[in-house]
Amino acid sequence: MLELKKNDDILTVVGRIDSLAGAMAIIEKNLDSANLQKLSRIKNTDALIKVANAIVMCQPDAVFIDSGSAADVQWIREHSLTKGEENKLAKEGHTIHFDLPQDQARLVNQTYYIINEGEQMSSLAKSVLRAEALEYIKKFMVGIMKGKTMMVGFFSRGPVGAPAAIPAIEISSSAYVLHSAEILYRNCFEHFDAEAQRTGLFFTNVHSEGENVTENVPNARIFMDRSWMTTFATFCTYAGNTLLLKKGNHRFSVDFCTYYKVEEQLSEHMFITGMTGPGGRKTFFAGAAPSGCGKTTTAMVGSDFIGDDLAQLWIAEDGSLRAINPEKGIFGIVEDVNLEGDPFLMKCLRGHGTEVIWSNVLIDKDGTPHWAGHNEEAPKEGINFQGEWFEGKRDADDHLIPMSHKNSRCTLVASAIDNHATELSEDPKGVPVKVITYSGRDGDTMPPVWVAKSADEGVAIGASIVSKATATEVGASGVRRQPWANAPFIPGALADYMEAQFTFFNSKKFSAAGKPVIAGLNYFLTHENRGSSGKGLLGEKKDVKVWLGWLELYANGNVGAIESPIGMLPRYNDLKPLFDSINKEYPKSLYDMQFALYIDNIVKRIDLQTEAYGKEGNIPGRLFDIYAKQKSALLALKEKFGAVVAIDSLS
């Protein structure tokens, strides 16, 4: 359950402002005339009270209102340089930001939902009681902006006016955070009041990096108050921890959809992209994948790229499935981004004319960024996320320090990318989505692509995403469950989220043509696991175009498929021309390896999921029904053909 506005808003408890008059008194006292003049545009009482309470709590020396004007954005850029949060690089418009070595990714163990007594939370999430969070905030956030300027920006998570767009306020003393927000989100200062009124809510985010020193990182917290849709973040700068418009507000949005928008909206960790099919038709995809499983690459394969991380989906009046990207920029992992796999992105990163904030990469003596897997000549020394670096440098535990951090990023506007469909991205009607994909990182079990035979089976594909476990997590199975690639962002019970998925995808509001095709994707099968004498991955990055291309044809009824217990599988003769079009040989023997059903592996996977979900309370019975049905059909196949079923036996 989720009850909005339940119990006290911590910001109000600490700031003690609960009226417009009180808010205005604080605002007038703390803002200079130029900023006061700007803020006078905002009339929303709740928003003004939030800002006033943040001022009382954080005690900044000055307050800057970011109206989104060119002058204001320029002020933020310069403030970041002055503070030393970013430094200029050789290329015009490029800067480098380093997060502390201990703050290179989401601080999962320091991230909590603020909950009320008795609330049921996801078994995968950490939570803290409201009273404890209040204690922390009183102790660490009061006065945290002394000596600093508080910046306040008003953004929209989506094109203004879109049914699933929600406005959000970003309050931070970090210019890097506001600068990133300006690249990644739509400043909606002019429309904030109207949008808050239309949607009936807005998100609030309060962050301060404090002194931004290593010693303080253990005290860093990322708190998300579900009831008040407000985040608090301290003593860190990594965007996933601080720019809470991204994953912080995504969590609120997931919550809101799960409990207040059932059968209307979903909030997903998905890319959105369009593929051009025969005759120039456009078919849009939305696809989920855990971090580091090829989500950005998949998104950019499309001819009409919309977004690489988040999607808000809804069923439109006409019965079609629609999607918007709540973001307008990319906070992309740069490792392994290179000319061969990501030509469009590389053009922005290595060409001219695009503003880029780099983070945690290596900067050479000429002020040029470098990263692992860029397939260029790499320098032997430079400055990276841990300070001075030279090839062969080892850390305190004697591990080699890589040239760039695995999670180093580039931040840029999506519209700079050649295949970005900017006009469509800004359309509040969203794009019509025909195909939903779920992918993970799976070395030995599922084929490269398969299509669910029903909405329920589609939901089961989402529920069953796995990624490879990291070194510290390898258990008996070697895989990590990643439900919908969205689990870290599901605040409430997983069962409630799953129920909402079943309800949404089975909705009668879909027209016959509006019902999406739901598919699984897996780029990570290896030769070793397919009885081949070869080594490594069976596929390459460029094959993604073929899998999406086939789904495009399938979703439009241009190709048929082979029925199997796990879903519909492509025919060789339909894939071959698609491989021809990317100038790649596609021997039948490779197809046979990729699409043979390894029954024992799949059954083992089903058993793993059945057992894990069995431990979770209230999981909808339909999920177990699907698992049971698939398992018995797979075992029947095994009986007939043996443990490895050749795809030709099915056709």
Active site (catalytic) residues: 293
Can residue 247 be called a binding residue for ligand SAT (CB under 6 A)? yes
> What minimum distance in Å lies between the beta carbon of 188 and Mn ion?
22
The reply to whether 268 sits near Mn ion by the rule CB under 5 A is: no
Q: How far apart are CA 458 and CA 229, in angstroms?
A: 30
d(CA 521, CA 535): 21
- One-letter amino acid for residue 373 of the chain: G
Query: Taking contact as CB under 6 A, which single stretch among the options 77-85, 240-248, 272-280, 537-545 is the one that binds ligand SAT?
Result: 240-248
Which C-beta is closer to Mn ion: that of 321 or that of 333?
333
Residue 331 interacts with ligand SAT (CB under 6 A): yes or no: yes
Q: What amino acid occupies position 194?
A: A
3-state secondary structure of 389: strand
CB of 250 to ligand SAT, least distance (A): 8
CA distance 310 to 269: 5
CA separation for the pair 531, 412 (Å, rounded): 43
In the complex, what is the shortest distance from the CB of residue 310 to ligand SAT, in angstroms, rounded to a whole number? 8
Closest CA to 283 of 333, 244, 323: 323
In angstroms, the CA 428 to CA 424 distance is 9
Angle at 547 between CA 545 and CA 551, to 5 degrees: 110
Report the alpha-carbon distance of residue 259 to residue 262 in Å, rounded.
6
Does position 631 bind ligand SAT by CB under 6 A? no
Q: Which is nearer to ligand SAT, 243 or 569 (CB)?
A: 243
- At its nearest, how many Å lie between ligand SAT and the CB of residue 47? 24
* Residue whose CB is less far from Mn ion, 489 or 523: 489
With contacts defined by CB under 6 A, name the span among 238-246, 270-278, 600-608, 626-634 that binds ligand SAT: 238-246
Residue 240 as a binder of ligand SAT (CB under 6 A): the answer is yes
| Contact indicator for 181, 273 with CB cutoff of 8 Å | no
Window 275-294: contact mask with ligand SAT (x via CB under 6 A): ----------------x---
Piece in contact with Mn ion (CB under 5 A), picked from 121-129, 277-285, 309-317, 398-406: 309-317
Q: Does 207 bind ligand SAT (CB under 6 A)?
A: no
Query: Nearer Cβ to ligand SAT, position 246 or 515?
Result: 246
| 130 interacts with ligand SAT by CB under 6 A | no
DSSP state of 149: E
- Cβ 401 to Mn ion shortest distance, Å: 25
Q: Please answer whether residues 14 and 142 qualify as being in contact, where contact means their C-beta atoms are separated by less than 8 angstroms.
A: yes
Based on the shown chain and the rule CB under 6 A, indicate whether residue 102 belongs to the binding site for ligand SAT: no
* By the rule CB under 6 A, 309 interacts with ligand SAT: yes
Residue count, binding to Mn ion (CB under 5 A): 1
Using rule CB under 5 A, residue 308 touches Mn ion: no
For Mn ion, the closer CB: 212 or 408: 408
What minimum distance in Å lies between the beta carbon of 445 and ligand SAT?
A: 24
Q: 417-422: long-range contacts at Cβ-Cβ below 8 A with a sequence spacing of 24 or more?
A: 417/300, 417/305, 417/330, 417/344, 417/345, 417/347, 417/348, 418/344, 418/347, 419/300, 419/302, 419/303, 419/304, 419/305, 419/344, 420/305, 420/306, 421/274, 421/304, 421/305, 421/306
- Of the candidates 94, 106, 179, 481, which one interacts with ligand SAT according to CB under 6 A? 106
CB neighbours (10 Å) of residue 37?
A: 12
DSSP conformational letter for 414:
G
Of 439 and 564, CB closest to ligand SAT: 439
The CA-atom distances, in angstroms, between 527 and each of 112, 322, 537, 649 are: 41, 38, 6, 21
Q: Does 309 bind Mn ion (CB under 5 A)?
A: yes
Q: Which is nearer to ligand SAT, 309 or 499 (CB)?
A: 309
Q: Which residues would be at the binding site for ligand SAT (CB under 6 A)?
A: 106, 239-240, 246-247, 291, 309, 331
Instruction: Catalog residues that contact Mn ion under the rule CB under 5 A.
Output: 309
